Structure 1
């Protein structure tokens, strides 16, 4: 083999290894990719049972139901639809009725959302961009767009 052929063989082998590494990384991360949905999206049956999603909206007044220990259920709404959320864990200190919340988990076959993560807003003007956009679409946005801090 000439020097040029050896060099091309090495470059080709390095390309194959790089391509395989990128493929393995993308395959490993496919379960970690989570998309945001509003309760209206869930009600429109765009979410399959068992699919991992982020659900965001407002905690509906009068719906927080604390069970035994750290079990809690509540309803997330965007004004157009409601989704019942079941969560087992410690809620954030700022979690309360009428406030913005983003939950992460999976939908059950019975229509209940099993959350494993609950995030609450940290001040009066903060709201995740996806939640703010969904509430604006439903006509339930209650803040000045210029003042709202989104990430």
Structure 2
């Protein structure tokens, strides 16, 4: 497997590929389509998204194996989101110094790792946050740049 990371040219193509990929994966498969499409469309319009593609040797077309979509919030908005679970208004989704990963899925662990590393490369000084919903549990990921070791706020 050869993983490449890229933004897909053309917002409609990107939206279709993201929706098709995520609709087959939990928890996204259980989301209302209008909510999922609206979220993806906003990420893509802002340019806050990245695909992981498998372009194995000999293939003429790459296969989507991962997707990350995010917002950029300021610390106050991100902390409110973490505490309440209510996402900030769309007009607060650009220009902040917290990368909030809203959508993350991968068919292969290597794709997920590559996407995660790309976020750190794109935003090296930013705090990275996300909420993971799995098996009825809500887990907050909060990695402040420069944090060391394991424990709250380290993201590890």
Assess same fold via TM > 0.5: no
TM-score of the pair, normalised by structure 2: 0.30
Q: Which has the higher helix share?
A: 2
TM-score of the pair, normalised by structure 1: 0.31
